[in-house]
Amino acid sequence: MKAVVYEGPRQVGVRNVPDARTEMPTDVLVRVTTTNICGSDLHMYEGRTDLEPGRVLGHENLGEVVEVGPGVVRVRVGDMVCVPFNVACGFCANCERGLTAFCLTTNPEPGVDGAAYGFADMGPYNGGQAELLRVPFGDFNCLVLPDDARERQSDYVMLADIWPTGWHATQLACVQAGDSVVIYGAGPVGLMAAYSATFKSAGMVMAVDRHPDRLAKAEEIGAIPIDDSKTSPVDRIMELTHGRGADRGCECVGYQAHDPQGHEHPNMTLNNLVKSVRFAGTIGVVGVFIPTDPGSPDDLYKQGEIAFDYGMFWFKGQTMGNGQCNVKNYNRQLCTLIHEGKARPSWVVSHELDLDDAPGGYEHFDRRDPGWTKVVLHPAG
Ligand code: NAD
Ligand code: ZN
């Protein structure tokens, strides 16, 4: 089958690899029709991880079930399904509590809970930027889509990751009706967090970034754009909230945060959030913070740890939640919003490409070239 394969830093190729197949009785095999490039793929693409060359990338997948193992009882051949990026079993102590991002069964690496497709350190699972995808524990993991799935794939595919993740950011930040909410990062995840906050009737949503096209997308859904290359985001948020700070804050950038001049500051958005959110306010962090290299010469990494202004965080009595999204907690309800015509998350999509064009898609998205907000790939044409 054709697949997008990691080959080394900033190098992916579309190659022929052995077909994905069912390996366990509980597996489902999906013919992938829509699969996205995600900001999380860039951690691997940029060579920040130790992903072995040859691995198939892609964790935001949608397609048609073409085979089910003998132990599968719910999902049927022909179903259109969206697959959460978490590979979860459904029966371990964490899955039982809804913590499917921290499944105790699916990651064979000792001491690491949780698994994902096409990811470094998240288990051996190949991704779905390919013609076929093996879905372990298919009955649990596949979200069977409604009858309009084939026509609305670019909406439903956002249920694999970025819409639930944006929603998770607002859940972790405890967003309630009327709240003022600041979102750092107006990439696909930040835009979905802003979208989620509007669905939760936030009183005011502010989005911080420096790419005009991404800020314009945020503005399209009623968020106030804040360009941190032109103004201090903290000052602007204080001004907009009459000197108090936002009620809630969402971090949708991660440890690759940089200043508008392009210098990396892994702690920049965390510390800006502590400053921008009010006393006793709440912060949700979904941007990825991978444990950093203790040998890094950058003293912001402080011997492998990311420097965080804990003193101010404590003084302000703030609360923070973080981590990978438990997609299954949200995807069914968000699916209903799409099906009922209340949501159209595909508004973040800027490009729909054939799988063969993935290397160019990665290049543009990685450079955050103007207009390249979210890239969707179609392996099956
Ligand atoms: P992205 O990299 O395209 O978006 C990040 C945006 O942040 C960019 O537009 C960039 O200009 C902006 N940015 C950089 N530094 C900034 C700063 N100092 N202040 C404000 N904005 C800044 O990627 P994305 O797809 O939107 O993903 C964002 C993060 O979310 C990544 O770390 C990704 O790995 C993570 N993620 C987490 C989960 C989860 O389950 N927790 C799921 C998906 C993605
Ligand atoms: Zn993703």
- Is the interface score ipTM higher than 0.95? yes
Q: Where a domain ends, among 306, 322, 338?
A: 322
Burial code (b: 16+ CB inside 10 Å, e: under 16) for 138-147 equals bbbbbbbbee
Residues 179 and 227 in one domain: yes
Phi/psi for 67 (5° steps) reads -160, 145
CA of 255 to the centre of ligand 1 (A): 9
CA of 36 to the centre of ligand 2 (A): 8
Round to whole Å and give the CA distance between 233 and 179. 18
**Exposed, middle or buried: residue 227 (CB in 10 Å: 0-12, 13-18, 19+)?**
middle
Q: Which atom of ligand 1 sits closest to the CA of residue 259?
A: 18
- What is the per-residue pLDDT for 58? 98
Round to whole Å and give the CA distance between 9 and 7. 7
- What is the per-residue pLDDT for 156? 98
CA of 240 to the centre of ligand 2 (A): 31
- CA-nearest residue for atom 7, ligand 1, is 185
Say what angle helices 268-276 and 233-240 make with each other, to 10 degrees: 20
Ligand nearest to the CA of 373: 1
- What is the per-residue pLDDT for 227? 98
- CA-nearest residue for atom 23, ligand 1, is 39
CA of 189 to the centre of ligand 1 (A): 6
Residues 33 and 151 in one domain: yes
145: domain CATH number? 3.90.180.10
CA of 254 to the centre of ligand 1 (A): 6
CB 35 within 8 Å of CB 380: no
Tell me how many domains the chain contains.
Answer: 2
- CA-nearest residue for atom 30, ligand 1, is 287
Q: Which atom of ligand 1 sits closest to the CA of residue 258?
A: 15
Characterise 52 by phi-psi region: left (phi > 0), alpha (psi -120 to 50), beta (else): beta
Residues 350 and 314 in one domain: no
Residues 12 and 142 in one domain: yes
Q: Where a domain ends, among 322, 349, 370?
A: 322
Widest CA span in the chain: 61
Phi/psi for 275 (5° steps) reads -75, -35
CB atoms inside a 10 Å sphere around CB 260: 12
CA of 102 to the centre of ligand 2 (A): 16
- What is the per-residue pLDDT for 367? 96
As averages over each run of 10 residues, the pLDDT of the chain (381 residues) reads: 97 98 98 98 91 96 98 98 98 98 96 94 96 98 98 98 98 98 98 98 98 98 98 98 98 94 91 98 94 53 72 98 98 98 98 98 97 95 56
Residues 149 and 33 in one domain: yes
Round to whole Å and give the CA distance between 224 and 359. 33
Structure tokens at 80: 């259109």
Output Rg (C-alpha) for the chain, integer angstroms.
Answer: 20
- What is the per-residue pLDDT for 299? 46
Structure tokens at 156: 């439903």
CA of 184 to the centre of ligand 1 (A): 8
Residues 95 and 219 in one domain: no
Strand-pairing partners, residue 208, are 184, 226
Ligand nearest to the CA of 164: 1
List, chain by chain if needed, residues with CB within 6 Å of any ligand 1 atom: 38-40, 161, 165, 184-190, 208-211, 214, 228, 252-254, 257-258, 268-269, 286-288, 324-325, 368
Ligand nearest to the CA of 374: 1
CA of 26 to the centre of ligand 1 (A): 34
Give me the domain span that covers residue 233.
163-322
Residues 269 and 289 in one domain: yes
Q: Where a domain ends, among 287, 305, 322?
A: 322
Pocket test residue of 192, 253, 290, 375 for ligand 1, highest count of atoms within 8 A of CB: 253
Q: Which atom of ligand 1 sits closest to the CA of residue 169?
A: 41
Ligand nearest to the CA of 215: 1
Residues 234 and 370 in one domain: no
316: domain CATH number? 3.40.50.720
Residues 75 and 111 in one domain: yes
- CA-nearest residue for atom 39, ligand 1, is 324
Residues 101 and 249 in one domain: no
Residues 25 and 130 in one domain: yes
Residues 284 and 348 in one domain: no
Pocket test residue of 36, 195, 252, 367 for ligand 1, highest count of atoms within 8 A of CB: 252
